Structure formats: C-alpha cells, structure tokens
C-alpha cells in the first residue's frame, strides 16, 4: 500500500517535525510510508501534480493556519482524479472544528484530532491489515462511509456519500512522557541547509487566551538522559541550528538547567540552539548559566505581547513588564545571546496609543529582533470564544488575522502594518543599526521614527516595490536629510557612548555636521555587513587614500597583528578580503579614525564584520 504523508511549510528551510514523527512512529508500516514536503511558495497546481504522480492509496496532510487553504484546494483536486485515495488531515488548524470541516469539505475522509503518533499507527493497522474498526480508534472524526473500506470511491464528485453521517471518537489520553516517541533525525543528511526542530516537552502550564496551547495545560517531558543523547547527535554532526518547539522551555527549572548546562559543556563552536522561554521565570542560577554561554550558542524568543496591565490581565499573562525587562537587560549586558521579543497588536483593551507605548517600551530593550505581530483569532482559543464581547473583526480565511476591535480601528491596524514593514527593513535586518540609533534622537519616541519613515515611503511612492540593499540606504539617506532639515536644532541626549572600535562619535553642532555624521554612519553600516565594490555616492572619496592604506597592508608585522587569522595570505589578498575606511567625525576631532573591517570574523549576534581601529 502506498501511504503518503504531506507537509506544506512556510519556507524551504523549515522542516515539518509532525510528519517525520508520524512516519517514525508507524512501526512495521514505516517502509510503506513516504514523505512529500512543499512550501506555500509552490503553486498549488505543482503540489497537486506531484502528489497525483505518486498515486497514494492513503494521503495524510499536516494542517496549520498558513497552509489550510492550499491543502483543501489540493485535496479537492486529488479527490476528482484519484477517487479511490483515502484522504485524512490532522494538526491544530483542523482539530477544533473537525466535524464542521468534514461537513464543508466532502473531499476529506477523516480528521486526526489528538496526539497523532499512536492514532496514525492504529489507522494504518486498520487500512493495511484490517485490524478492528475505525470506531475502535480514539482521537479521530470520520465519515461513516469510511467503515466500508471504499471511502475514497464513495466520496467522488457528485457522490451521494457527501451527506454521509460524521462520527466523533473522543481523544485518546495524552502520553504521560515523551520517551515513547522515536528520534526522527537518524538520516541527518536529509536535513542539509534546513532548521532542525526538536521537542523536549509538550504542553504549556500557562493559559494565554490567544493561544491554542492553553487548552491543554499538562506538560509532559522527554527524559533528560534521552534528550542529552539526541542533542549529542546534533552536536556530533555539527548541524547549524536546533530549534526547540517547546511552548515554554523553562517552565521546569531542573529540565531547562540540565539541558542548558549540557549544551554549554559540549559546545562544538558551530551549533546554535533556539528556545522559547518565559523571561520572568529565569532564576539567578539560570541567568548565571546563560551569561557564560559562547556568543551565538543560544538564542531566546520571549513573548512580551504588551505592557498594558489591563490587557495583560485580560489575556491571562501574569508576569509584569518590569520583571521581564529586568531579565532581558541582564541577558543583553553580556552581549552573547540573541534575543527575539514579540508584540501583538489587536489585543483587548489596547488602543492605538497604548500599543505605541508598548512598542516604545519593548524597543527600548534593544533586542536583536522585535516582531510586531497581529492577533490571530484561532478557533478553540478563549479569544475566539469571546470574539463578540471584544468586538473582534478578523479575516474569514486563515490565518484569521484581526482587522479591528472595540479599541482599535482597521485604519489604525493598517497603520501598524506600515510601521511593521519599516521595522523589518531598518531594524530587524540589523543592517542600519548605527544610523537608526542616531536618527532616533531626532524624534520624540521610536514609534514616531518608523511611522514617519512609512509616511515617506508613501509620499515617494516607494511602498510595494522591490528595493536593493543599496537603494534602501539611499532612501534612508534622503529621508534623513529631510528629517534633519525639518527638525533642525532638535536632538535628544544620547544615553550611551555610541562607540565603534573604541572611538566615540562627536556630537553634531550644526545641520551640516549632522548630515556629515549621518553619511558616515550610513557608510559604516554599509561596510559592516558587506565589502561592497560599488562605492556609495555619499561616501568620502577613498581613492586618494589608496597609497596610505596600501602602505598599512605592506607592513607585515603591523597588519598581521590586526589580522592574525589570515594565515599565509599575502598583503594584496588581505587587502582584497578586508576594507579600510576613514571617518572624519569618529574619534579624534582633528584626524578622525581609520577603521578596518574584517569579514572573516563576525559578530555572532549581528553578523557585523569585526572592526579594528588602525593607525595609518
């Protein structure tokens, strides 16, 4: 029998842990099971063609909010041309309203509603070896016609079976531990250039009203001995990243500490581990452990969502912003851990101004990544059940994103969408950091800076266009020149030293000095990421400095003291692989500073080239 497990991921680099886990848990049926992985960037026609050519007898889809629409379309077309194929779906996006989904989609024969590993195996026992009946299998919703063994044929186009009765089997009791789940990555070569997703626990002890994880608050763990063995496998194979899918990784202190200690002690210098945590739960021992990690070994995702206290109460978030901010700042002080912070727009009791306050507060923590997300009204969540009370207007199709609430209008949410786009380009890319830090001082608050930048894009008709990196710099430069001209004389005091390679920027006293420094900051940001060959128009003419720069590289003792990792390369090779730039307004007032950009060595948090101040 030909059994096909199908996943449609958001991006190619994502692997679908669910289908791999189902296949690995299928026991004696595993040789019959094949996997087909696609992305939402594939055309549905191409996905259909690929599946059709495989001619599956049993076809299973893994459903989420980002792929439900595509899956239902593909399944409908498969049903028309492969009427004997039995089609099942499973996953969080179809579990809550399984009966409704079957009633509206005659192409689907059944839905797996609970933990899938045991259910999947029992379905294969039924279809392959004819063991028992579907009515014996917990955790499924199916059409009565499926019991005949000819489910697919009866569901063909125009079949009277479309109105067949729907049977609901209560979910099976969840597994008490995760130790019974097989390890799915033995053929690690199949995951080259992809993120490895790993599960050391299931469930979440919290009850956030917008999250489906709040429905089942029982947390089950994989034993630490087993976790360590499997992490050692990843480390041995030097995989680039392991992303834990645990909903709140550090909800159990001993579990989190043991795993963090293990990856610290067995660090291979390459593998990065990603964890979603509750920052307020971090204790002193855990903070000390994190502070000692190699830079880049660990990255943390922390959901803050809002700083509005009434909103926090309404969504059942117990931690105060001050608690979280304290932990975030203490982690950031060691400059060794990438922090990703989340905000959600459209939550109850948060209006536009309140969200701006939340944005500014979280932005002030200076994470490496700040995600401005929008509420998804997920079926089965408390937010969905209270949608009328909160006046939630949201998209009819997945991902059910909020359009308006009692507190925030559609116009205001669209305004936040514009700000989100600017935030992604000019903050989360980490490519304009030094420029944006200075530009922020010309605005009353950070939110206003990104809002003004969004307005500039609209005024110049720059939105909805593809821009190169160089063009983004040029656009930002023109926006800066307009901003400084309009806000001449307004510049807030900087709270930090704003240093680069030990040098501090001088404070501009005039509009001309401000524009000169911005040009230098743009040049700095440009070369921090890439040794561009096409020199920007605003940068100082570097050709007249060629002889002085070349003389530095010819001095072998001097250059190798700065670039010891360049081995036996000659001075011309080192000059070609690095870059030297002169900054008039950085360092000494008279001669400025000479900065060397070392692209072989980069900051693991920002990916910036290492920088050295040199004497020429």
- Is residue 118 over pLDDT 50? yes
pLDDT at 161 > cutoff 50: no
pLDDT at 162: 44
| Percent over 70 (pLDDT), the chain | 96
Q: Please tell me the distance from the alpha carbon of residue 285 to that of residue 253, in angstroms, as a whole number.
A: 10
Residue with tokens 């390459």: 270
pLDDT interval class at 581 (50, 70, 90): very high
Residue 497 has pLDDT above 70, yes or no: no
Residue 495 has pLDDT above 80, yes or no: no
Cis upstream peptide for 587 (omega within 30°): no
User: Residue 414 class from Cβ within 10 Å (0-12 exposed, 13-18 middle, 19+ buried)?
Assistant: exposed
Among residues 461, 458, 435, 400, the alpha carbon closest in space to that of 529 is found at 435
CB 571 within 8 A of CB 553: yes
Half-sphere exposure of 405 (CA within 13 A, CB side): 23
Query: Is 135 in contact with 167 (CB distance < 8 Å)?
Result: yes
Reference 99, options 91, 59, 108; nearest CA is 108
At residue 407 the predicted structure's pLDDT band, cuts being 50, 70 and 90, is very high
**Tens-place pLDDT, residues 585-596:** 888 767 889 999
User: How high does pLDDT run on average in the chain?
Assistant: 92
Cβ pair 204, 196 in contact under 8 A: no
Which residues are within 8 A (CB) of 582 and not within 5 positions of it... i.e. 6 or more apart?
540, 542, 545, 592, 593, 594, 595
Question: How far apart are alpha carbons 485 and 571 in whole angstroms?
Answer: 44
At residue 11 the predicted structure's pLDDT band, cuts being 50, 70 and 90, is confident
In terms of C-beta density within 10 A (0-12 exposed, 13-18 middle, 19 or more buried), how is residue 224 classed? middle
Instruction: Summarize pLDDT for 31-76 with one digit per residue, the tens.
Output: 999 999 999 999 999 999 999 999 999 999 999 998 999 999 999 9
Q: In this structure, is the dihedral angle defined by the CA atoms of residues 483, 488, 490 and 496, taken in order, positive or negative?
A: positive
Q: What is the mean pLDDT of residues 316-345?
A: 96
CA 49 to chain centre: 30
Distance CA 209, CA 565 (A): 52
**3-state SS assignment for residue 272:** strand
Q: Which residue from 416, 209, 204 is spatially nearest to 311, judged by alpha carbons?
A: 209
Higher-pLDDT residue of 290, 591: 290
Task: Kindly indicate the confidence band of residue 296, based on its pLDDT and cuts at 50, 70 and 90.
Answer: very high
pLDDT confidence of 489, banded at 50, 70, 90? confident
Strand partners of residue 176 = none
Q: Measure the CA–CA gap between 380 and 100, rounded to whole angstroms.
A: 13
Which of 46, 48, 24 has its CA nearest to residue 35? 24
Report yes or no on whether pTM surpasses 0.75: yes
pLDDT tens digit sequence for 511-563 = 999 999 999 999 999 999 999 988 888 887 878 889 999 999 999 999 999 99
DSSP states along 167-184? EE-PPPPPPS-STTSPP-
CB 19 within 8 A of CB 62: yes
pLDDT surpassing 50 at residue 450:
yes
Q: Which of 105-114, 115-124, 208-217, 509-518 has the lowest mean pLDDT?
A: 208-217
Tell me what the mean pLDDT of segment 431-435 comes to.
Answer: 97
Cα within 13 Å of Cα(613), Cβ side: 13
Beta-bridge mates of residue 300: 275, 339
And the tokens for 129? 């070896």
Residue 210's nearest CA partner among 52, 58, 402 is: 402
Taking the C-alpha atoms of residue 221 and residue 295, their distance in angstroms, rounded to an integer, is 28
pLDDT more than 90, % of the chain: 80
């Amino acid at each position: 029998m030909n059994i096909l497990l199908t996943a449609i991921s958001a991006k190619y680099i994502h692997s679908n842990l669910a289908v791999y886990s189902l296949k690995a848990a299928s026991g004696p049926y595993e040789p019959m099971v094949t996997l087909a992985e696609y992305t939402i960037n594939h055309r549905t026609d191409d996905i259909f063609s690929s599946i059709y050519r495989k001619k599956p007898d049993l076809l299973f889809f893994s459903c989420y909010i980002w792929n439900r629409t595509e899956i239902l379309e593909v399944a409908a077309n498969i049903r028309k041309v492969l009427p004997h194929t039995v089609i099942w779906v499973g996953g969080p996006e179809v579990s809550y309203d399984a009966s409704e989904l079957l009633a509206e989609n005659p192409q689907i024969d059944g839905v797996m509603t609970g933990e899938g590993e045991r259910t999947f195996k029992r379905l294969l026992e039924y279809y392959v070896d004819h063991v028992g009946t579907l009515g014996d299998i917990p955790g499924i919703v199916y059409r009565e016609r499926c019991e005949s063994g000819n489910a697919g044929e009866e569901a063909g186009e125009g079949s009277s079976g479309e109105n067949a009765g729907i049977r609901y089997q209560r979910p099976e009791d969840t597994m008490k531990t995760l130790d019974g789940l097989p390890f799915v990555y033995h053929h690690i070569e199949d995951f080259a250039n992809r993120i490895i997703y790993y599960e050391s626990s299931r469930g979440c002890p919290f009850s956030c009203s917008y999250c489906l994880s709040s429905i089942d608050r029982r947390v089950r763990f994989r034993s630490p001995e087993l976790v360590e063995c499997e992490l050692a496998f990843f480390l041995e194979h030097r995989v680039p990243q392991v992303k834990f899918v645990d909903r709140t990784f550090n909800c159990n202190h001993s579990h989190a500490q043991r795993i963090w200690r293990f990856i610290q002690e067995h660090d291979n210098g390459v593998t990065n581990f990603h964890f979603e945590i509750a920052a307020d739960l971090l204790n002193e021992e855990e903070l000390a452990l994190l502070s000692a990690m190699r830079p880049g070994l660990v990255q943390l995702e922390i959901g803050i969502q809002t700083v509005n206290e009434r909103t926090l109460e309404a969504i059942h978030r117990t931690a105060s912003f001050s608690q979280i901010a304290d932990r975030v700042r203490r982690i950031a002080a060691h400059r060794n851990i990438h922090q990703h912070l989340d905000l959600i727009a459209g939550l109850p009791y948060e209006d536009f101004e309140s969200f701006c306050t939340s944005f500014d507060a979280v932005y002030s923590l200076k994470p490496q990544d700040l995600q401005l997300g929008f509420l998804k009204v997920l079926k089965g969540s408390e937010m969905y059940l209270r949608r009328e009370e909160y006046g939630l207007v949201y998209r009819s199709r997945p991902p059910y994103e909020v359009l308006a609430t009692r507190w925030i209008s559609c116009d205001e949410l669209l305004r936040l969408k514009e700000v989100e786009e600017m935030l992604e380009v000019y903050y989360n890319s980490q490519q304009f950091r030094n420029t944006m830090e200075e530009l922020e001082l010309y605005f009353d608050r950070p939110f206003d800076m990104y809002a003004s930048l969004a307005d500039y894009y609209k005024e110049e008709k720059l939105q909805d266009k593809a821009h190169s990196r160089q063009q983004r710099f040029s656009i930002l430069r023109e926006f800066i020149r307009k901003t400084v001209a309009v806000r001449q004389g307004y510049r807030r005091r900087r709270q930090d030293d704003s240093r680069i390679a030990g040098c501090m920027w001088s404070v501009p006293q005039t509009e001309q000095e401000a524009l000169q420094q911005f040009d230098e900051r743009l040049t700095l940001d440009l070369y921090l990421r890439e040794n561009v060959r096409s020199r920007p128009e605003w940068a100082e003419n570097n050709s007249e400095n060629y002889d002085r720069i070349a003389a530095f590289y010819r001095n072998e003792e001097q250059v190798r003291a700065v670039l010891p990792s360049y081995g036996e390369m000659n001075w011309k090779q080192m000059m070609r692989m690095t870059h030297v730039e002169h900054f008039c307004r950085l360092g000494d007032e008279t001669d400025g500073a000479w900065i060397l950009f070392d692209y072989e060595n980069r900051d693991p948090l920002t990916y910036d080239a290492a920088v050295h101040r040199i004497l020429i």
